[in-house]
Amino acid sequence: MFRIIFLALILAGTLVGCKNSSDPSSIATKDLKIGSPDQVKKIIEQFILAEDSTVIELPTGHFEFETQLIIDNLQGLTIKGKGMDKTVLSFKGLKAGGEGVKIVGNDILLEDFSVYDAPGDGIKTQNCNGITFRRINATWTNGDKSKNGTYALYPVQCTNVLIEESHASHSRDAGIYVGQSENIIVRNCEAYGNVAGIEIENCSNAEVYDNKVYDNAGGILVFNLPNLPKADGARTRVYNNEVLENNHKNFAIPLNESPNGNTVTMIPPGSGIILLAAKEVEIFGNKILDNKTVGVAVANYHITGFPSEAPDWSPFSSDISIHDNEYKRPLAPPDLSKDLGKLIAAKNAHGIGKTQDIIYDGFWDKSKGAELSSNPMNICIQEKGIEDLHFTLYDLYGGEDDIKAFSDYNPFVCDYTVQTDVEELKTL
Amino acid sequence: MQKLWILVVMSGLVGLYLFSCSTGKMHPSGIDFSKVPFEHLSDYGFFKGEQNKLMPSPGVLPYRPASELFSDHAEKSRFVWMPEGASASILDTGYHHLAFPDKSILIKNFYYSQSENEKQRIIETRLLIKMEGEWNAFAYLWNDKQTEAKYEIVGATIPVTFTETYGTKHSIEYIQPNKNQCKSCHNQGEKLVPIGPKVRNLNFAFDYGNGEMKNQLTKWREAGYLESFDQADLESCMVDYEDKTSSLGLRSKAYLDINCAHCHSPKGPASSSGLFLTYEEKDPTRWGVYKTPVAAGFGAGSFTYGIQPGKADSSIFIHRMKSEQVGVMMPEIGRAMVHKEGVELISEWINSMD
């Protein structure tokens, strides 16, 4: 009898082990046949010899590359696999270069394949006008997440970006990261097991909707960082997403190391949606459930402790609208591994160790108004049953020894709507 | 019928004779650019006699930039060739760029002079050829016998053992990039461009052999490769980072320019980082002083700023220069080894900052 239980335990352990090592994302690919060296070489050649309007068809199989796959400034190119569960491009053995796949060009379509184990970013697209990711899965299969790469799907400096029905998981920074781009839709995607699920950074005119974002340290981030060529971003609508149980540990840096200069290293596990130096953001209709530290955080760049002056950029979050979302606080207490988590756990307006639904760090641009009670940064919150939510407004100007926390949300009850225009992308 | 057959054989033989005859006498002036890239390096006729001696044909002019890229201690010999009657011109002097005429060819050989058995071994030869207004990159991989190099597009990994200048022996995997990786560095505004041949990199005296020490721009002018210019109008030359008589600041800026700035510049592929490492950059934040990273991921290590003045060991620059891990190391392409002397130079510079 004992022996049978013992065997069953071993078997269970093996099964779990298998699942973790071969199928890290929820896309099953472990039965795929390893591609031959000739097949691998042919795929590399297809990328190099591609011309405008080429359709690169990737076959069924698991293909391992030692070199990067790069598309160099082409128009109307399509790269099409047989399905996220049928075509895997693996960069575990990559010998030089950052990203596994790098794409430059206009009107590019990427469809139906998976990218595994790039040492840097999974798929980076740069300087593209018109880039679609459709049913693309990018992930890392290392058991040890400290070896994983930075971004899974990484469009940067692009215009007209559509990411849909895609999966991004286990990245050491953001799963879906859209940077310094304009006109963006991220929809019907799943992001899980990342430090950050979806991040919109220094972007303008973006919609993030109908996504399922779960088991990350932070669910959805809208950030503006200083000193970038696209200096500031504005106009993002985040709606109808499921932002669930984003309580994963933050593995952007090794355990016991202090945060480095990457802002994402500061994200406390248990964060649903975080805005940092964000401009014109509307958050509505989301299910923000079981995130143990905070549902929605409105933060200013000052909270990072980094220099907060840069040309053509403001460290303040402004023109924010949070309304008609659904919240549920889990039983678990807030994170204690990061400073922001400790702040929320130790000091809030509802009691030590209480999860917060909405917080505002309370820094404001004093040239816009003498009192925060006049809501100079136009932070608008209209939630049903707000009286039962945990809302905390901080005053951090007094430094660590004089932190104040207030529960009064009344200064922030106002209407505000963000206008985005991405209709053309919706029909792609 | 039989006659026709004999004719075919005869013409074939004549063709063969002409071909074998011409290999030794090839010269770039005979290049049919509609057939480029050729299968073999010798087809271009850049070098006369035994190919691996790299003895340039008439009109194939050697050059060197003031500071050189580190790529795993590979030594380089560079040549330029332009067609008869065509010459480059100097664009507005602010950015030191040369405008090259069509059919210009830049030739760069990568070799180790002390490789296996203390013999010279040429690994690859890279060509930049300008055609119809656009630069194109073609790489040739040398055979083991060192008699010929063959056109290669998917790249290669080549085990090499060599002894470097300071006597240290290394065994490495030399990585020849694939064709599309050329633009990982040779890229400004998504156009393929040369990196080294800029006015401010060439404006110094070069040893042409036989006692001829001459400013390279003057030599190019004499060879008809450069339109006339007034030396007084030109920016002075970038320093050689190996020249210890130059200031630490300029040597460091020169090192970062030639090793990093092709990507880390406003129109380079790393423009998204906001970190600009050109020799001309004047804004310390743009060079990385107290600048937080953006998309460095774990490349940032446990550090906050690109450059933390006075603290090289706490600066992301040094962390990434000292790494051999893909995804952390910088530059991310072109080296598998750490450049010890480069790390020492940039460390000394950062430590000297207030």
Q: Once rounded to an integer, what is the mean pLDDT over residues B310-314?
A: 97
Does B300 contact A177 at a Cβ distance shorter than 8 Å? no
Residue of B nearest to A180 (CA): B272
Domain count of chain A? 1
Does A150 contact B298 at a Cβ distance shorter than 8 Å? yes
Mean pLDDT, rounded, of chain A: 92
Task: Answer whether A231 touches B (CB < 8 Å).
Answer: no
Task: Answer whether B338 touches A (CB < 8 Å).
Answer: no
Task: Answer whether A158 touches B (CB < 8 Å).
Answer: no
B174 pLDDT higher than 50:
yes
Chain A contacts of B183, Cβ < 8 Å?
Answer: 70, 72-73
For the ranges A386-390, B227-231, B347-351, the lowest mean pLDDT is seen at B227-231
Chain segment B21-66, per-residue pLDDT in tens: 344 568 999 999 999 999 999 999 999 999 999 999 999 999 999 9
Between the alpha carbon of residue B256 and those of residues A239, B75, B98, the distances in Å are 44, 19, 21
B166 or A108, which is more confident: A108
Q: Once rounded to an integer, what is the mean pLDDT over residues A89-101?
A: 93
Beta-ladder partners of A71? A103
Q: Which residues of A341-375 are buried (b: 16+ CB within 10 A; e: fewer)?
A: bebbbeebbbeeebbbbbbbbbbbeeeeeeebeeb
Task: Answer whether A45 touches B (CB < 8 Å).
Answer: yes
Nearest beta carbon to residue A95 from set B300, B303, B326 = B326
Chain segment A356-383, per-residue pLDDT in tens: 999 999 999 999 999 999 999 999 999 9
What are the helix (H) ranges across chain B? Answer: 2-25, 182-185, 199-202, 216-222, 248-260, 284-287, 316-321, 340-352
Which of B175, B298, B305, B311 has the most A C-beta neighbours within 10 Å, making it the best mutation to test the interface with A? Answer: B298
Task: Answer whether B241 touches A (CB < 8 Å).
Answer: no
Nearest beta carbon to residue B180 from set A47, A154, A228 = A47
Q: Once rounded to an integer, what is the mean pLDDT over residues B10-29?
A: 55
User: Is A19 within a domain?
Assistant: no
Q: What does pTM read for this prediction?
A: 0.90
Q: Which residues of B47-68 are buried (b: 16+ CB within 10 A; e: fewer)?
A: bbeebbebebbebbbbbbbbbb
Residue of A nearest to B264 (CA): A229
CB B177 within 8 A of CB B68: no
**Pairing outcome for strands A242-244 and A287-289:** parallel
Residue A259 has a pLDDT of: 83
Q: What is the CA radius of gyration of chain B?
A: 22
Residue B3 has a pLDDT of: 52
Residue of B nearest to A73 (CA): B190
CA triplet A96, A26, A357: central angle to 5 degrees?
100
Choose among A175, A183, A239: nearest CA to A209: A239
How far, in Å, CA of A368 to CA of A39, rounded?
Answer: 62
Q: Which ipTM was obtained for this model?
A: 0.86
Q: Once rounded to an integer, what is the mean pLDDT over residues A78-102?
A: 95
From chain A residues 301-340, the ones with a CB under 8 A of any chain B CB are 304, 306-307, 310
Q: Once rounded to an integer, what is the mean pLDDT over residues B175-202?
A: 93
Chain B contacts of A172, Cβ < 8 Å?
Answer: 297-298
Task: Answer whether A155 touches B (CB < 8 Å).
Answer: no
DSSP E strands in chain B: the ranges are: 61-63, 75-81, 89-90, 98-99, 105-112, 121-131, 134-142, 149-152, 156-163, 169-176, 187-188, 191-192, 205-207, 213-215
Choose among A107, A226, A124: nearest CA to A171: A124
How far, in Å, CA of A160 to CA of A128, rounded?
Answer: 8
Which of A106, A257, A262 has the most B C-beta neighbours within 10 Å, making it the best mutation to test the interface with B? Answer: A262
Chain segment A204-213, per-residue pLDDT in tens: 999 999 999 9
Does A229 contact B271 at a Cβ distance shorter than 8 Å? yes
Distance (Å) from the alpha carbon of B155 to chain A's nearest alpha carbon: 8
Task: Answer whether B22 touches A (CB < 8 Å).
Answer: no
Chain A contacts of B326, Cβ < 8 Å?
Answer: 94-98, 119-120
Residue partners of B18: CB distance under 8 A and separation at least 6: none
Task: Answer whether B178 touches A (CB < 8 Å).
Answer: yes
Does B153 contact A45 at a Cβ distance shorter than 8 Å? yes
**Pairing outcome for strands A182-187 and A61-64:** unpaired
Which of A260, A302, A306, A312 has the most B C-beta neighbours within 10 Å, making it the best mutation to test the interface with B? Answer: A260
- Does residue A24 have a cis peptide bond before it, meaning omega lies within 30 degrees of 0? no
Residue partners of A19: CB distance under 8 A and separation at least 6: none
Residue of B nearest to A177 (CA): B295
Task: Answer whether A41 touches B (CB < 8 Å).
Answer: yes
User: Is A193 within a domain?
Assistant: yes
Q: Which residues of A289-312 are buried (b: 16+ CB within 10 A; e: fewer)?
A: bbbbbbbbbbbbbbbbebebebee
Residue B57 has a pLDDT of: 96
A146 pLDDT higher than 90:
no
Chain A contacts of B305, Cβ < 8 Å?
Answer: 261
Chain segment A176-229, per-residue pLDDT in tens: 999 999 999 999 999 999 999 999 999 999 999 999 999 999 999 999 999 999
Distance (Å) from the alpha carbon of A173 to chain B's nearest alpha carbon: 6
DSSP E strands in A329-421: the ranges are: 356-360, 379-382, 391-395, 404-406
From chain A residues 271-300, the ones with a CB under 8 A of any chain B CB are none
| The dihedral formed by the CA atoms of B217, B219, B221 and B223, expressed in degrees to the nearest 10 | -140
Distance (Å) from the alpha carbon of A387 to chain B's nearest alpha carbon: 38
Mean pLDDT, rounded, of chain B: 90
Distance (Å) from the alpha carbon of A46 to chain B's nearest alpha carbon: 10
User: Is A252 within a domain?
Assistant: yes
Q: Please, how many CA atoms are within 13 Å of residue B263, restricted to the half-sphere of its CB?
A: 20
Chain B contacts of A70, Cβ < 8 Å?
Answer: 178, 180-181, 183-184
How far, in Å, CA of B318 to CA of A421, rounded?
Answer: 43
SS3 string, A79-124, reads EECCCCCCEEEECCCCCCCCCCEEEEEEEEEEEEEEEECCCCCCEE
Task: Answer whether B181 touches A (CB < 8 Å).
Answer: yes
User: Is A104 within a domain?
Assistant: no
Residue of B nearest to A256 (CA): B302
Chain B contacts of A68, Cβ < 8 Å?
Answer: 178, 180-181, 184
Residue A8 has a pLDDT of: 40
Domain coordinates in residue numbering, chain B: 27-233, 248-352
Does A68 contact B181 at a Cβ distance shorter than 8 Å? yes
CB B51 within 8 A of CB B148: yes
Residue partners of B309: CB distance under 8 A and separation at least 6: B289, B290, B350, B353, B354
Chain A contacts of B155, Cβ < 8 Å?
Answer: 67
Q: Which two tokens stand for residue B122?
A: 């040429």
How far, in Å, CA of B336 to CA of B158, rounded?
Answer: 12
Does A261 contact B178 at a Cβ distance shorter than 8 Å? no
CB B57 within 8 A of CB B29: no
Residue A269 has φ and ψ, to the nearest 5°, of: -50, 145
Residue B38 has φ and ψ, to the nearest 5°, of: -75, 160
Q: Which two tokens stand for residue B184?
A: 């990982």
Residue of B nearest to A95 (CA): B326
Nearest beta carbon to residue A44 from set B154, B325, B334 = B154
Residue B93 has a pLDDT of: 57
| Domain housing A257 | 140-426
Residue of A nearest to B181 (CA): A70
Residue B94 has a pLDDT of: 61
For the ranges A19-23, A390-394, B108-112, the lowest mean pLDDT is seen at A19-23
Task: Answer whether B323 touches A (CB < 8 Å).
Answer: no
Q: What is the CA radius of gyration of chain A?
A: 22
Does B180 contact A72 at a Cβ distance shorter than 8 Å? yes
Chain segment A300-354, per-residue pLDDT in tens: 999 999 999 999 999 999 999 999 999 999 999 999 999 999 999 999 999 999 9
Q: Which amino acid makes up residue A64? A: E
Chain segment B292-308, per-residue pLDDT in tens: 998 877 888 889 999 99
User: Is A57 within a domain?
Assistant: no
Nearest beta carbon to residue B154 from set A45, A120, A149 = A45
Say how many C-beta atoms besides its own lie within 10 A of residue B115's C-beta.
17
Residue of A nearest to B290 (CA): A307
Task: Answer whether B271 touches A (CB < 8 Å).
Answer: yes
Chain segment A235-270, per-residue pLDDT in tens: 999 999 999 999 999 999 876 777 888 999 999 999
Chain B contacts of A102, Cβ < 8 Å?
Answer: 184
Residue B19 has a pLDDT of: 44
Chain A contacts of B157, Cβ < 8 Å?
Answer: 66, 95
Q: Which amino acid makes up residue B234? A: L
A31 pLDDT higher than 90:
no
How far, in Å, CA of B331 to CA of A68, rounded?
Answer: 15
